[in-house]
Amino acid sequence: MTSAQEECRRIFRAHGGTLRTGEALAAGVHPRTLYAMRDAGVLLELSRGLYRLAGLLPLSSPDLATVGKRVPKGVVCLISALAFHELTTQIPHVVHLALPRNMRTPKLDHPPLQVYRFSPEAFKAGVETHTIEGVVIQIYSMEKTLVDCFKYRNKIGLDVALEALRSYRGRRGARLQRVLEYARVCRVESVVRPYLEAST
């Protein structure tokens, strides 16, 4: 391995093992080195323009890590957020992602996205940041995700929202008042409140 490739490995390790092409170049990796390491299998191309060092532990949430890198302004929502918070038995086959209304839908070859457009208030409410595989990702909190599931119940199924609510209520430290606060922000309090009261 050349000194340039060793330096490339060091740069990738310093950034959690995953970088976009632009980030790698800005950090001092030469394009020729980047593509030579890709062709040699030292770097894995997770998605177009997104690379990860081979030989690291497998990604536990590769799709979320990829989306976090490629669409940093997006917020993981609905079934993908439920799965992250372990509030569902559903296995998401796409990444459910909220985007600002004025943002163009990104084109990713992988993973497939299901994009939702929220009002500015609903988009900003309840956003948490988590680090997955060294990548900072925005994900809605459990309480905000529950509200979104009731709001989008016609798209994802009321049964998914009810299962998530039951699972959430079984958690220590469940904050139902917080759920109601987000329901007001998202203008679905009249939808959510009866289900909260029925499960008390």
Shared domain check, 179 and 111: yes
Q: What confidence category does residue 184 fall into, taking pLDDT thresholds of 50, 70 and 90? A: very high
Quote the pLDDT of residue 173: 86
Question: 74 and 23 share a domain?
Answer: no
Residue-level pLDDT at 171: 87
Residue 60 pLDDT exceeds 60: no
Instruction: Looking at the structure, tell me whether residues 49 and 87 fall in a common domain.
Output: no
Condensed to tens digits (0 to 9), the pLDDT of residues 83-117 reads: 999 999 887 788 999 998 888 888 877 788 899 99
For the ranges 14-23, 98-107, 127-136, 142-151, the one whose mean pLDDT is highest: 142-151
190: amino acid identity, one letter: S
Domain residues for the domain of 23 are 3-53
Same domain, 104 and 193: yes
Number of domains in the chain: 2
Q: What is the pTM of this model?
A: 0.71
Average pLDDT over residues 25-36: 91
* Mean pLDDT score across all residues of the chain: 88
Q: What is the 3-state secondary structure (H, E, C) of the chain?
A: CCHHHHHHHHHHHHCCCEEEHHHHHHCCCCHHHHHHHHHCCCEEEEECCEEEECCCCCCCCHHHHHHHHHCCCCEECHHHHHHHCCCCCCCCCCEEEEECCCCCCCCCCCCCEEEEECCHHHHHCCEEEEEECCEEEEEECHHHHHHHHHHCHHHHCHHHHHHHHHHHHCCCCCCHHHHHHHHHHCCCHHHHHHHHHHCC
Give pLDDT tens digits for 141-173: 999 999 999 999 999 999 999 999 999 998 888
| 186 & 164 share domain | yes
Quote the pLDDT of residue 185: 95
